[in-house]
Structure 1
Amino acid sequence: MALPDIINHQDFLLTIHTNDEKLIKNALPGVHIYPLMLDSENGVWVLRVLFEPGTVLPKHFHTGVVHLYTLSGSWHYTEYPDDVQKAGSYLFEPGGSIHQFQVPEENTEVTDTFMVVMGSNINFDPDGNYMNIMDAGWIEQVMLAAAKEQGFEPKYIKPKSLYGFNK
């Protein structure tokens, strides 16, 4: 069998070296991100996210699946306080799941995670009232505003007619 014709020729590899990139601090309070790939057309967001001790995100409903790998530190869902996700943990979340992310205040280090999210998070306040929808487009706008305030433009992969960098 012969090699297939090249469909998407690449002149270079689309690689983000997070250790060489600037961290966007406090994109949300206590949430620092390295954007990796944001695809608002297909509803996919890929991020490396660092969470400060004591960070609690709003309760949210997932419209799609999530792959979440914990690199360091620990966290749990308030609904599952005894199921602590720690360094080396991989969590698969099916679409339709509802939960609230929390990093224990007693953590002595930042919790470092890698996530691939498909779809949106529909966020709710503590009383269960709708707050907002967080998706790739929303994250991109919040992240770009935070980076601009910090004096830089982040590098990340963003689809165009073919995948490429945002610049």
Structure 2
Amino acid sequence: MDAVTSPQTADQHSHLVQPQTMEWQKTRFPGCEAKTLLFDRATGLMTALMRFAPGSVLPDHEHVGIEQSYVIEGALVDKEGPAEGIACKAGEFIWREAGSRHAAWCPDGALILAIFQVPNKFFEADGRVVDASGQDWDEAWGHTGAQRPHQA
């Protein structure tokens, strides 16, 4: 697992992360920055603080695993998709099942604690399906069976 941890740990099973000491990392999405608090390469589990500038959009994407978002400041609004118009505001929590697809925007900006599994699928205007870094999804992840929704 990757995370920025403090040299002080209570034991080998506790990992203190101090986000206030971390730099915001730009993403390929204008106005969206992240601080990765935890990333487990084996499972794809990611926990991140996400900061969105006013008016920024997270374009059309599908969650291949569960997505959980707690809004600390601002609001996260579904711009497109089955839940179009639903707004998760400061102090509220929203979660989505694996396979959910939407586009989200932050009209006034937002700070969000996001917990999800990568690799999400992003649907480009030209028809390509890519991951969050812009790599072709099938080439990067298709061969791995990565985080496909579990069938009951």
After superposition, where does 1:122-161 map in structure 2 within 5 Å? 122-126=121-125, 129-134=127-132
Aligned-residue offset at 1:111: 0.6
- In structure 1, the partner of 2:42 is 41
TM-score between the two structures when normalised by the length of structure 2: 0.70
Structure 1 gaps of 5+ residues are 1-8, 136-167
Secondary structure in 2 aligned to 1:33?
strand
Which residue type is aligned with residue 100 of structure 2? S
Aligned residues: 121
1:103 aligns with 2:101: no
Residues 91-116 of structure 1, C-alpha deviation per residue, up to 9 Å, x if partnerless? 11000111001112xx2xx3100011
Deviation at 1:81, TM superposition (A): 4.5
After superposing on structure 2, the runs of 4+ consecutive aligned residues of structure 1 that deviate more than 3 Å are none
- In structure 1, the partner of 2:115 is 116
Where does residue 6 of structure 1 map in the other structure? none
TM-score by length of 1: 0.65
Q: Which amino acid aligns with 2:113?
A: F
Distance 1:115 1:78 in 2: 18
Separation (CA, whole Å) in 2 of partners of 1:43 and 1:11 = 21
How far off is 1:120 after superposition? 2.2
User: Residue 57 in 1 paired to residue 55 in 2?
Assistant: no
Alpha-carbon deviation of 1:82? 3.1
Higher alpha-carbon Rg: 1
Q: How many Å apart are 1:75 and its aligned residue?
A: 2.0
Q: Which amino acid aligns with 2:132?
A: M
3-state SS, counterpart of residue 19 of structure 1: helix
- State the superposition RMSD in angstroms: 2.1
In percent, how many aligned pairs have the same letter? 22
> In the alignment, which residue of structure 2 is the partner of 1:76?
77
